[in-house]
Structure 1
Amino acid sequence: MSDMKHTLILAATAFLFAACTQDELSSPTGGVEGAVLTFTASIEGGGLTRATVDNTWSGDETVALQINAGGWLNYTADASGNLTGNDYYWQNTDPVTVQGICPATAAGSTTWSVESDQSSYRNYQSGDLLATGMTTVTYGSAANLTFRHQTAKLVVNIVDGPIVPDDPEVTVGDNNLALTGTFTKPSSGSSFGTWTPGAQTGSITPYRLPNPNTVAEKNIKVSYAALVIPQNLMESIRLISILINGQLYTYELPLDITWKPGCVYTYTITVRAEGLEVSVDTIQDWTDGGGESGNATDPGDGYTVSEDGNTYTVYTADGLMAWAEAAQGNPSLNCTLTHDIDLSGTEWEPIGDRNNVYTGTFDGNGHTIRNMAITKENLSFGDDCGMFGRVGTNATIKDLTLENVRLDVGADGIPIGALAGSNQGTISNCKVSGNISVTNNEMQYVGGIVGWMESGVIQYCHSSASVQGGNSAYVGGVLGGEYITATVIKGCSFSGSVTGDRFVGGIAGYCRSFDKKTACYSTGSLSSTGGFAGGIVGALQITSEANACYWSNFDGEGVGYGYNSSEGTGLYKVDGTTHTWQTATGAMNVALGADSEYIWETTDADTPPTLVKNR
């Protein structure tokens, strides 16, 4: 669209104050005694809300003008833009400064708000705030004022498609948008004011536009618009939700963005059964502008890549497989998920191996990967097996859920875990469910989350997987085992089942040296055909220690086999009398410490706790 400016005559006729006479008025040199300062005004841009945002006055709009930083004078504009109300007279030939705001009620306040329910035209347009910059007017000239929109606007275009109904239910935000803000009027030399978002947050039901917008090469079925307070939005927040036939489709921001005053953010969305495809444009004023740098997405391939080539932002299963293929050659590549992903019908190849460990960051961003399957036969030394084969020292895997994972592995002497075969990095806030089935893996490590560790951290993780270790030794609900170097298992839990030959534990199968388990618990079922099963750990050796760890649903001890008399200290069975889940929760939180990112929370003495953010 082209830039539009509709010039509206706000005052053109001279009137004398009833209390003044011509003799009482000053006589500016070279001018007319008692001349009225004349105003013209335009509204920049072509919006899609009410009179002002449509760049036309519908009549009865209120406008306030401030001259020379004095009091605000109120005017009413008719449909032609003529003002009625206060007149201002030149008193001398000095220039004056003029600033305007609309509606006039905003002149006496620093706060502004938009409606949460903008589905009606009235509520939608009520959030429109316009202001002018500080305009200097020389004697004898008219004050030519340009009003600019001080809020931002979001437009959602939904492309016609086989599953799109006539009236899809669209929501902007997820109770995370500022609906109020403190507005500071434009300063000298600026067209836009500044905003400080307020504490009131919510979602917005947008206004359905009377006619769909026109988008090149797209058949738009319906368009919506909402006025929003300018604000910063963080990566991964849910921005747009579309409910169609009971199915909720969501779009989450792949990057941090800033909504700026006077800008329009247009999201053109194609709804497919597997998710949303979104393209983004930013309009730098209310009519035209370029693309939004760094935020436009084309999920046709299911992913985007950062400018430096180091990070994949993944939207779909195809996008995740594309990252995985690239990471086989460059295991330092980062990955961030923006949607839940279903890998049904695909076979996953572990990322990283003994000679080429994974060193990047995989950020699940709170999302779930469902139905990941690994089927391998006759794996041998070096073929560590899991979503990641081997995770290196500087790597991080976080905020990820693997749901209904299936590992069916025949192996000989290798570590196996749903998230990682072996780990030397940090695995944080991850969850695993599904089935891990291993055959022919005598004397090696199998875990619900990680098979084997030498150094590294597993923290704030939970497994409810069925871990069938077969004839393996060192089998655990979270970790198969560690050996020699310092490892940390903190704030983890297990509620699935574990079977193995020997050294079977609810949290870990085998811990040898410099291992520390803190504030973990297990409610899982344990079975060991060769002996040495423990509610927390199958075997605890040398300098390994446990602090405030609890188990239930297993009749044996916390340690299946201890190599010295101090082993088992800090392990407690929840029996409902000496120890309850309520007392266990308190003790585990003390062990985690006040600065822990997550803490345990339970509702009563009989219910095992869950992890929550430490508020």
Structure 2
Amino acid sequence: MKHTLILAATALVLAACTQDEPAEQGNALPEGEYPLELTATGMMQAVAAPFSRSTIDSDWEGVQNVAVQVGNETKVYTLTSSGDYKTATLTSTNPFYWTSTNETKTVEAWYPCLTTLPETWEVPVDQSAGMPADKDFLHAKQTIAFADRNEAGLTFGHCLAKVVINIQQSDYLDSFGGDLSVLLTDFLTRGEVDHNNGSIYIEGDRYSKGASITPHRLDTPADGAFASYEALVIPQSCYVDPSRLSAIEVRVGGAAYKARISELTGLGISYSFQANSVHTFDITVKEEGLEVSVDTGSMTWEDGADGSGSVVL
């Protein structure tokens, strides 16, 4: 009788373990019925024509595909924008699927839609016509649980830095009738892409050769400005080598005025152009030279650095 009771108790213990196991593992979901779909807020801006842009701001117009990676597999997701291009839905004809109610997925996404994350990144030296959409690099990475799929979201960030130059109104400029040009000199145009620690950032090689970047002149200048310019640059420290430093050059008529970044910021060679940040320089051109005020703190890319989205099924 004792032997029988022991066997019965053992059977109950085994049954309890068998019943608890699915609860620990989660309930399996029907195969192929729960696709991973994503929504994201705007990270891009309106474009004037396909694959070109006049500014780099905050909506998804002109973007068609985004690369999405789960584990070691990358798939192409189609991006469908809302009417105002501020939000977008990411879907795929060959999506990733949820397989269990307690599953978590580490989702990584980037634009432009490349098969693999690049090892290096470059910006064009001539941005006068606008920055091509596929030259701005966006990246997001988020671990999402099935249970939190409706609340969790992706946060995209720009891996480049944006420079804004506002040339202020002045009698000196008026006397030349708008004969004005701006150049960023000794800036890095190529950087290494770092994939460590779950984040992506681009850092320029301080020993590589710099180049002159022609920024885009905006159709509508900032308030109080005679003209405004924008450019995307590789994140970098102003210190490149002992013989040269990054600078802003302004030409009015036949006269050229140059201000080194390290000198006009007051931070010396410690000043850096940071990824995901706007660096704004307000410049007044006078006959005797340039008068510059600088946002030395560098602000987050307004309406373009942060985004959130939710996973929906």
TM-score under structure 2 length normalisation: 0.71
SS at match of 1:261: coil
The answer (yes or no) to whether the contact 1:178–1:231 under 8 Å persists in 2 is yes
Does residue 1:82 correspond to 2:84, yes or no? no
Question: How much does 1:283 deviate?
Answer: 3.2
Distance 1:58 1:285 in 2: 21
Distance 2:292 2:276 in 1: 22
Question: How does 1:403-414 map onto structure 2 within 5 Å?
Answer: none
Distance 2:55 2:257 in 1: 34
Distance 1:242 1:224 in 2: 11
List alignment gaps of at least 5 residues for structure 1: 1-26, 289-615
1:411-438 alpha-carbon deviations (Å, 9 max, x no partner)? xxxxxxxxxxxxxxxxxxxxxxxxxxxx
Question: How much does 1:28 deviate?
Answer: 5.9
The aligned counterpart of 1:220 is 225
The share of aligned pairs that are identical, in percent, is 31
SS at match of 1:187: helix
The aligned counterpart of 1:276 is 290
Q: Which of structures 1 and 2 has the bigger CA Rg?
A: 1
SS at match of 1:221: strand
Does residue 1:267 correspond to 2:281, yes or no? yes
Distance 1:228 1:241 in 2: 16
The aligned counterpart of 2:7 is none
Does residue 1:177 correspond to 2:177, yes or no? no
1:103-132 alpha-carbon deviations (Å, 9 max, x no partner)? 112734211110000001244x44311101
The aligned counterpart of 2:39 is 40
Does residue 1:137 correspond to 2:144, yes or no? yes
Does residue 1:156 correspond to 2:158, yes or no? no
Query: Aligned pair count?
Result: 251
Match of 2:211 among 202, 205, 225: 202
SS at match of 2:135: coil
Question: How much does 1:39 deviate?
Answer: 1.3
Question: How does 1:515-594 map onto structure 2 within 5 Å?
Answer: none
The aligned counterpart of 1:285 is 300
Does residue 1:230 correspond to 2:228, yes or no? no
The aligned counterpart of 1:71 is 73
Whose strand proportion is higher, 1 or 2? 1
Name the structure, 1 or 2, with higher relative contact order (CA <8 Å, separation 6+): 2
The aligned counterpart of 1:114 is 123
Distance 2:215 2:54 in 1: 18
Does residue 1:94 correspond to 2:103, yes or no? yes
SS at match of 1:88: coil
Whose helix proportion is higher, 1 or 2? 2
1:22-56 alpha-carbon deviations (Å, 9 max, x no partner)? xxxxx961756531123122346989994994221
Distance 2:256 2:115 in 1: 38
Distance 1:43 1:251 in 2: 35
The answer (yes or no) to whether the contact 2:54–2:129 under 8 Å persists in 1 is no
- Opposite residue 29 of structure 1, the aligned amino acid is N
- Opposite residue 138 of structure 2, the aligned amino acid is L
Match of 1:211 among 200, 216, 220: 220
Distance 1:187 1:51 in 2: 34
The answer (yes or no) to whether the contact 1:47–1:286 under 8 Å persists in 2 is no
Q: 1:248 to 1:194 in 2, by over 3 A?
A: closer
1:502-532 alpha-carbon deviations (Å, 9 max, x no partner)? xxxxxxxxxxxxxxxxxxxxxxxxxxxxxxx
The answer (yes or no) to whether the contact 1:131–1:185 under 8 Å persists in 2 is no
Distance 1:162 1:51 in 2: 28
1:171-205 alpha-carbon deviations (Å, 9 max, x no partner)? 011xx2211111124634x5x52424383531100
Question: How does 1:414-433 map onto structure 2 within 5 Å?
Answer: none
The aligned counterpart of 1:54 is 57
The answer (yes or no) to whether the contact 2:74–2:115 under 8 Å persists in 1 is no
SS at match of 1:105: coil
**Root mean square deviation, CA, Å:** 2.9
The aligned counterpart of 2:21 is none
SS at match of 2:220: coil
Question: How much does 1:237 deviate?
Answer: 2.3
Question: How does 1:199-598 map onto structure 2 within 5 Å?
Answer: 199-214=208-223, 219-234=224-239, 237-252=245-260, 253-254=262-263, 255-256=268-269, 257-281=271-295, 282-287=297-302
The aligned counterpart of 2:11 is none
SS at match of 2:81: coil
The answer (yes or no) to whether the contact 1:197–1:229 under 8 Å persists in 2 is no
- Opposite residue 73 of structure 2, the aligned amino acid is G
Q: 1:238 to 1:88 in 2, by over 3 A?
A: closer
Distance 1:127 1:162 in 2: 37
1:196-252 alpha-carbon deviations (Å, 9 max, x no partner)? 4383531100001121113xxxx2111000000001112972511111110011111
The aligned counterpart of 1:364 is none
1:374-430 alpha-carbon deviations (Å, 9 max, x no partner)? xxxxxxxxxxxxxxxxxxxxxxxxxxxxxxxxxxxxxxxxxxxxxxxxxxxxxxxxx
